[in-house]
Structure 1
Amino acid sequence: MYEEVTIGARLRALRRWRGMSLRTLGDLADLSQGFLSKVENGKQPLDRRSHIAAVAQALQVSETDLMGGPHLTQDPVQSEPHVHIPALRVALQTNGIKAAATDRARPLAALVVEVRDGLEPLRRACDYVAIGERLPAVLDELYVHTAEPADELAQRTALETLVEACVCATFTAKNLGYPDLAYMAAAQAADAASHLAEPAQIGKAAFLRMQTVPKAPQARTLLMAERAADALEPHVNAPGAVEALGMLALTASLTAATCYDKAGAEYWLAEAARLAARVPDKPLTNWQSFSTANVGVWRVTVEVERGASGASVLKLAESVDETSLGRSSRRAAFLADVGRGLARDRRTQAEALRWLKRAEAVAPQRIRNNAAVRETVGVMLQQAREAAVGRELRGMAARMGVPH
């Protein structure tokens, strides 16, 4: 699974396999020939969702074919989380709401505490090794309770807890580079939510689905997100609905940006800000960290997707209260997005490296497995000329399995 191949080299191989010239690919993907040439030569990152979707669709390949699967290195921090993926896959593939794969489980109350106070904090901290050691068994046991509930209340509690466990499974699989497994976990959450028939739970499951569908075609994903938000809006006063609706709005904003729909991206960001004003600004306790601070984080993500670079990214970052995010997955993603935006401008690449290293320090397991960061580091390494910067880049590249 460890591939000494850059995305640029993979793009060139896929393009030649399809018998396409750079000009033909550029015309099909609506990207310039010069840009694609720089990507193939490792001088420009292919890290925007819109570009990845356009190129994959033009080549008629999957995003995984283009971006590559998990990159396993000799660095244990990067590679050890993958050890537990087979057990997670088995738990998701062999269980069903009415058909558990095992027949023994801890008391339901203990599993509720395990998910809420054990797995959820680990998910926020991106500790995928610890998650992998615990999550497969928790999923098995929750399915025992959904298949043979003690009563109606127990069944609802088991289903609600299963949705949250699937949130953990979805993002663990996604962030480690297993999109098929992430989609499977999201589908399991949707199944549990449909049995509950509660708008907030259905909204949560819809949010997970938006996180796992392919990037192309994005217009279809945007329509899905807008429909899910519209369906939840009338029930916004239900418990947990504001956070779920807010996350759907943020997803719609990012997807609109990917579709080059600036007005749509701004509209959904404004909707998310309006909803965030209704909940405490406590990212570390709200569902999926939804809060005013988190809306600011997503604004940075949206603008980086739209092509923001250099000093303009730093200005956006100044509006975010980073300290409120704690040592969390959301903070790591924010730091990485700022770093990726800074890396696009050679004048701010030294600053970019500092932000990327801070992201790595907050969540090393996530960042060292992040394809977009890996791509950015590889391009920066290609462009590096100063020895001091080169040494630091080579160190980070080695930890992420980037050829150096």
Structure 2
Amino acid sequence: MSSPVDDGVRRIGENIRTARRARGISLEALAGLVGRSKSWLSKIENGRMRLDKRTDIAALAEALEVSADYLLGQPAPEIRPNHPNHPNYNLARLQRVLMDAGPGDPPDVPARSVEVLRTVLQEVDTALRRVEYGTMTRLLPDLIGELYVHTATSPEPARSKALKLLILACGSGAAIMFRHLGEVNLAYISGERAQQAAELLGDPVWRGAAAFGRAHARGSANKPRPLMITPRIADEVEPHIGDDRFAHQVHGMLRLSAALARQIQGDHDGAADQAGEAARLAEPLGDAPDAFEMFGVANVGVWRTSLAVEAGRPGEALKYADKVDSRALSSHTRRAVLLMEKARAHAMLDRDADAVRELRKAERLSPIRVHNDPLIKELVADMLGRSGGSDLRGLAWRMGLI
């Protein structure tokens, strides 16, 4: 039976086979290197089984001496201006200000007051939560450039205020948007700019906030060092949190990142401990719409759902998901991620119809987040090979798979 997936869209297994043959490694040898059977790897390469765990992807990437981004087909395909749900955002101005200037090397532009720029950043944050990337690409270039001016030329306290805004604009704004758009290199640069600002500020909590942005600038299956050291970063931030609400939120998000790092290493108990600590931190904070990275009870539930999926425990994942009050998630994207993880869990239980239903709901909330996620693309391509239905084929078409 021929695959319904268009020849122009490569499955993860095809990328693994190409890398394996380029390295001159046999199926049996590669399977042995990652602790799997030859038949398992053969099914992956031939598209008869999907690869949906970051742990396995990371192990294969290490054995083949390639990046996980390559195996996942990242950066994402060019966003097609005439394809439904794939508007052609112009990233040139934002790319220029990130690559040609910096916190210590500002552009030659006039700068509005720090308080005015704070309100602009609030607009950016609102746009991110509503998946309005056009608004973000319009506002971010001037915002970041003018914050550079203040960090390089303004006296205190304006300079420190500008550095904090810059950490959020780059690490929690631009970097996340670029990840959603599949522009992983620009996401990494944004994270670096946030880190530079944090070093200039010299505050350990804000260093932690910047570290979170850097940790998630690249796909976690790459085992990027900024992600893998988050357990240590969280430990370093903990003595400085005091009774400051923002500091508790930063610490909590670092604990969740540490849980993901442990999970990717195959340390399920360590991941559970870190996630449990995050849940303990979230309980007294509740769910504040303006929290750093939406740290709160609901978002912890989303992360625990994802961690359970990654651990291969779909039933446990769905139990976590059912406890999440999605109304408390002030971001379309986080609601979409919850639905995406539920879809992955249903697929693990061979409930394709339920998986498609969850993905369609996620797509309505954040189409680009769904369409550019490599694991979701792999899942949809896999379901196409064994299932039918107009809903699945329509989703696949909108993702560029057929």
TM-score of the superposition, structure 1-length normalised?
0.91
Kept in 2, the 8 Å contact 1:30–1:54? The answer is no
Aligned partner of 2:385 in structure 1 is 382
Kept in 2, the 8 Å contact 1:96–1:143? The answer is yes
1:321 to 2:325 alignment: yes
Instruction: Tell me the alpha carbon deviations over residues 69-95 of structure 1, each in whole angstroms, 9 at most, x when there is no partner.
Output: 2123465454325x3333322111111
Aligned partner of 2:113 in structure 1 is 107
Residue identity matched to 1:318: D
Residue number among 275, 289, 294 corresponding to 2:281 in the alignment: 275
| TM-superposed deviation, 1:202 | 0.8
Aligned partner of 1:160 in structure 2 is 164
| Structure 1 residues 30 and 73: CA distance shift in structure 2, 3 A | farther
Residue identity matched to 1:378: A
| TM-superposed deviation, 1:223 | 5.2
Instruction: Tell me the alpha carbon deviations over residues 300-333 of structure 1, each in whole angstroms, 9 at most, x when there is no partner.
Output: 0100111123x54433321211222245221111
Structure 2 unaligned blocks of 5 or more: 1-6
Instruction: Tell me the alpha carbon deviations over residues 163-213 of structure 1, each in whole angstroms, 9 at most, x when there is no partner.
Output: 110121111112222222212111111111111112221110111122135
TM-score of the superposition, structure 2-length normalised?
0.91
Aligned partner of 1:396 in structure 2 is 395
| Structure 1 residues 112 and 219: CA distance shift in structure 2, 3 A | closer
Residue number among 146, 157, 162 corresponding to 1:141 in the alignment: 146
Written as runs of structure 1 = structure 2, the 5 A alignment for 1:288-327 is 288-309=293-314, 311-327=315-331
Written as runs of structure 1 = structure 2, the 5 A alignment for 1:2-401 is 3-68=8-73, 69-71=75-77, 72-73=79-80, 76=83, 78-80=85-87, 83-116=89-122, 118-149=123-154, 151-166=155-170, 167-212=172-217, 215=220, 218=223, 224-237=229-242, 238=244, 240-282=246-288, 284-309=289-314, 311-346=315-350, 348-384=351-387, 387=388, 389=389, 391-401=390-400
Aligned partner of 2:4 in structure 1 is none
Figure out how many residues of one structure are paired with residues of the other and give that number: 392
Residues in 2 aligned to 1:263 and 1:381: alpha-carbon distance in whole angstroms:
35
Structure 1 unaligned blocks of 5 or more: none
Greater mean alpha carbon deviation, residues 293-302 or residues 175-184:
175-184
| TM-superposed deviation, 1:217 | 6.9
Question: What's the secondary structure of 1:84's corresponding residue?
Answer: coil
Residues in 2 aligned to 1:95 and 1:221: alpha-carbon distance in whole angstroms:
23
The root-mean-square deviation of aligned C-alpha atoms, in Å, is: 2.1
Kept in 1, the 8 Å contact 2:228–2:261? The answer is no
Residues in 1 aligned to 2:140 and 2:10: alpha-carbon distance in whole angstroms:
32
Question: What's the secondary structure of 1:143's corresponding residue?
Answer: helix
Residues in 1 aligned to 2:208 and 2:133: alpha-carbon distance in whole angstroms:
25
Kept in 1, the 8 Å contact 2:214–2:227? The answer is no
Residues in 1 aligned to 2:37 and 2:279: alpha-carbon distance in whole angstroms:
35
Residues in 2 aligned to 1:123 and 1:52: alpha-carbon distance in whole angstroms:
29
Question: What's the secondary structure of 1:339's corresponding residue?
Answer: helix
Identical columns (%):
36
Question: What's the secondary structure of 1:279's corresponding residue?
Answer: coil
Residue identity matched to 2:100: T
Residues in 2 aligned to 1:142 and 1:267: alpha-carbon distance in whole angstroms:
38
